[in-house]
Structure 1
Amino acid sequence: MSTEQKNKKTFTLPTAYTVLLVITALIALATQFIPGVKAAKFSDLVMAPINGLHEAIDIAIFVLLIGGFLGVTTKTGALDAGIGSVVKKLKGKELVLIPVLMCIFSLGGTSFGMAEETIAFTALVTTTMIVAGFDPLVSVATLILGAGCGVLGSTVNPFLVSTAIGALNGVGIQANQVIVIGTGIALWLSSLLISIYFVMRYAKQVQKDKNATLLSQGEFNAAKEAFIGNKSSEEVIEFTGKRKIVLGLFAFTFLIMVSGIIPWEKFGITLFTKTDFLTGSSLGNWWFSDLGMWFVIMSVIIGLVYRMKEKDMVGAFLDGAADMVGVALVIGVSKGISVIMSSTGLDSYVLNSASSILSGMSSIVFTIVALVIYMALSFFIPSTSGLAGLSMPIFGPLAVSLGFPAEVIISIFSAGSGIVNLVTPTSGVIMGTLAIAKVDYATWVKFVTKVIVVIFISSAIILSIAMMLL
């Protein structure tokens, strides 16, 4: 990189931990001046990160176990060999990786709310993108925007759509899921196409000129050391038969992971009802504890297949887990924000205040203002299922009383929370993915701001049309 690249940044944000702790402190301070809200004590502020880690402990342990799995797999050299082989075959066509991967991740997002699960793919995708001649920012964008656009346009996502419909049913409002799916598809495809355009445009620039990267010299060096090491980007490790078997087991691991969290029974599929012999829960009912142990089991199997010594296998697993400690901690600290919000009642206060703003508005104004409000709410409550349960009993009846379709409220909620969850530092997915890929939060904000503005305009148009037609 040139001298200009090295000096590109004159200001950098503090670390993710500091940013999150400052936000937590500001929220705790705000509770001191808001009537009807329980004032957070100093002890609440001090304990927020620990309580947040306690609530997110299943995700944190899951991340550590994924790290161990990746450590064992990386030790075999199968990932390097497989990635090198794929990139070699795609020589001159590496850009095709971006739309293909983004479409795959978006399918996961719209169908079963794929979010935290993308963290598991970060190391692999980042290594692939660097070897292909791109930078880690392309990897982060592929993962976050891919899955994120799917969640933004949720169609059958049980953690958003089903939860929202259930919450509306609880207050006597019936929502037509066909309308929700139709609007979701429009939001999903529009935001995905916009994201693919921006990511591919940036990737082309970086591939053509490395100085076009938005990364600082420090970020680039950290990523290269973490994912490439001392190897030349042109070096290809021999793709032996044993490594091919390991890579097949690696792919099988993630196939089962995805199968384990898709709620098959909700879709009327009973094929996996008797698959509870491994963890006690059948495929489709797995959660982070089940997933974590699955990665441990496959770590052992991969180690045995590659004929690794017990000491080497355990050492590789622990080294891989150690690399994820920072990621696990940042997820816990980010969760501390929602702990403060819920324990003080600030979340309910914000929801009730927001609903009063929407009364008496025309359909288009209502749509846009509601979208902005949901974006604000999602900053403080990044959990889609949590926000659905809290907000739908308030916003649903309000919309119906004003003569607006309740189905569009679900789509507004989906779009608003989806847009914010592409960038908010209160999301463990965002901060965790960035931490693994060695990309600063400020760099991500710089890249994704334009994307979010265009997606917001597109989503507002789609939702306004839906509001007028329904």
Structure 2
Amino acid sequence: MSKKEKKSFSLPSAYTVLLSITALIALATQFIPDITAAKFSDLVMAPINGLNEAIDIAIFVLLIGGFLGVTAKTGALDAGIGSVVKKLEGKELVLIPVLMFIFSLGGTSFGMAEETIAFAALVTTTMIVAGFDPLVSVATLILGSGSGVLGSTVNPFLVSTSIGALNGVGIEANQVIIIGTAVALWLSSLAISTYFVMSYAKKVKADKANSLLSDKEFNEAKEAFLGNKEEVIEFTGKRKIVLSLFALTFIVMVLGIIPWEEFGVTIFTKTDFLNGSSLGNWWFSELSMWFAIMSVIIGLVYGMKEQEIVSSFMNGAADMVGVALVIGVSKGISVIMSSTGLDNYVLNAASSMLTGMSPIIFVIVALIIYMILSFFIPSTSGLAGLSMPIFGPLAVSLGFAPEVIVSIFSAGSGIVNFVTPTSGVIMGALAIARVDFETWVKFVSKVIAAVFVSSAIILSIAMILL
């Protein structure tokens, strides 16, 4: 049996990993004073409560699956991808830096994370057809958008929430300084990530034996996204129209979730005729209906019958059930943390460790602390609201710039969100691409180490200069 067929060690499924983490956290609460100990019933209900809290994301994922099912039935995706790859023959690698940069723009500007799940199936299909493997697609999505979030410039869920939390305790933060530091973090992490992804992609392109995926993973992905079909699908005029509608769907999605009014843009204020919310104020409920509507429109434009549209939609949604459940189970971890008060306990304990440190040591330790905190509290806006009122005054009392604390938070949460199993984005994208979490960890470990070093250097320089 080959090495790729049988691994000496293999992690259990994503569900088992997440449930084990939830159980360990619940167990830890039994031995920590001053917090509420989790009951056995809390542990049992954590996955369901997590799914209740993440139900909007779960429905979003299911309806995206339905949308992709209808679009895939038309053959437009296969034909379009085939056409693009044919034109790029010999230059397929260019897809990686272009897509990673685009996704990073979304990350740094509006915190694009969960939204990348919508692109996972398309990017995975494209990368397989281009001669790469599903790991390349996952890396392109997660590291691309993740690099942007790590270097959040105007991301309202991280930057605006952090500044607001600091203002709440009487601390003024200069956003120009935050943006300057964030740009350095963003571009450095993007460059490092792109290098690793392209290097791996080249090796896989040259010889599939260089893939980190097992034969089982790769074959499952190939069957799921290509169906083991080798025939060339004609890129007809009708399919070109469908693909245009497909692209329009995602363009409107992006327009819908960018908080335009936060940036002083008011041209979309009267665009609430479709679902009651203007572009810029959409979230998962509005996005879900948008994908459902476009599924019907695409089906009708292509000439599909009603039963065919419904059947394709339901089959596509069925493919996403596992992804939706993973997202819910991962959310259960933060439910246990918040219901027991363990999140605040960890925050207070972490802040006490930072007192009396030199600027460089402070940066490194604070970065590690935020990585740990982000593991347990994946929500950037939630962690900002909890941590900034504690860490901001601490930094000021030590004579450090509060703006750097925001950047440390951004970098720390960004790094750990490259890999944390408590993130629905990570586990969801891996589930769609049929990539095991263990395989992802093997690939991303070196990226995380390199990004951590570069971020620590940038933040230390900022701490010394400001």
Say how many residue pairs are matched. 466
1:399 matched to 2:382: no
CA distance in 2, matches of 1:79, 1:325: 22
Which residue number corresponds to residue 307 of structure 2? 311
2:243 to 240, 247, 257: 247
Report deviation, 1:11.
1.8
CA distance in 1, matches of 2:208, 2:3: 9
Contact 1:423 1:445 in 2 (8 A): yes
Report deviation, 1:61.
0.3
1:153 matched to 2:155: no
Which residue number corresponds to residue 424 of structure 1? 420
Q: Percent identity?
A: 83
The CA deviation string for residues 133-179 of structure 1, in whole angstroms up to 9 with x for no partner, is 00000000000000000000000000000000000000000000000
Contact 2:49 2:332 in 1 (8 A): yes
Which residue number corresponds to residue 61 of structure 1? 59
Which residue number corresponds to residue 287 of structure 1? 283
Contact 2:108 2:151 in 1 (8 A): yes
CA distance in 2, matches of 1:304, 1:6: 44
CA distance in 2, matches of 1:371, 1:183: 15
Which residue number corresponds to residue 415 of structure 1? 411
Amino acid paired to 2:293? I
CA distance in 2, matches of 1:68, 1:5: 37
Which residue number corresponds to residue 455 of structure 2? 459
Amino acid paired to 1:211? A
1:381 to 377, 390, 399: 377
1:349 to 337, 345, 350: 345
Which residue number corresponds to residue 12 of structure 1? 10
Which residue number corresponds to residue 170 of structure 1? 168
SS at match of 1:308: coil
Amino acid paired to 1:215? L
CA distance in 2, matches of 1:301, 1:424: 37
The CA deviation string for residues 180-228 of structure 1, in whole angstroms up to 9 with x for no partner, is 0000000000000000000000000000011000000110110000001
1:363 to 354, 359, 362: 359
Report deviation, 1:8.
5.2
CA distance in 1, matches of 2:319, 2:163: 40
The CA deviation string for residues 224-250 of structure 1, in whole angstroms up to 9 with x for no partner, is 000011212xx4310000000000000
CA distance in 2, matches of 1:124, 1:230: 16
CA distance in 2, matches of 1:256, 1:201: 33
Contact 2:4 2:213 in 1 (8 A): no
Amino acid paired to 1:84? G
Report deviation, 1:349.
0.1
CA distance in 2, matches of 1:465, 1:101: 30
The CA deviation string for residues 314-339 of structure 1, in whole angstroms up to 9 with x for no partner, is 00000000000000000000000000
CA distance in 2, matches of 1:153, 1:321: 33
1:118 to 103, 116, 119: 116
Contact 1:20 1:426 in 2 (8 A): yes
Contact 1:5 1:217 in 2 (8 A): no
Aligned-residue Cα RMSD (Å) equals: 0.7
1:51 matched to 2:49: yes
Amino acid paired to 1:245? I
Report deviation, 1:7.
3.3
1:71 matched to 2:73: no
Give the TM-score, by structure 1 length.
0.99
Report deviation, 1:6.
3.4
Contact 2:104 2:145 in 1 (8 A): yes
The 4+ residue runs of structure 1 with deviation greater than 6 A are none
1:88 matched to 2:89: no
Which residue number corresponds to residue 99 of structure 2? 101
The CA deviation string for residues 84-129 of structure 1, in whole angstroms up to 9 with x for no partner, is 0000000000000000000000000000000000000000000000
Contact 1:85 1:236 in 2 (8 A): no
Amino acid paired to 1:124? L
1:225 to 216, 223, 227: 223
Report deviation, 1:401.
0.4
CA distance in 2, matches of 1:193, 1:149: 9
Is there any run of 5+ residues in structure 1 with no aligned partner, and where?
none
Contact 1:5 1:211 in 2 (8 A): no
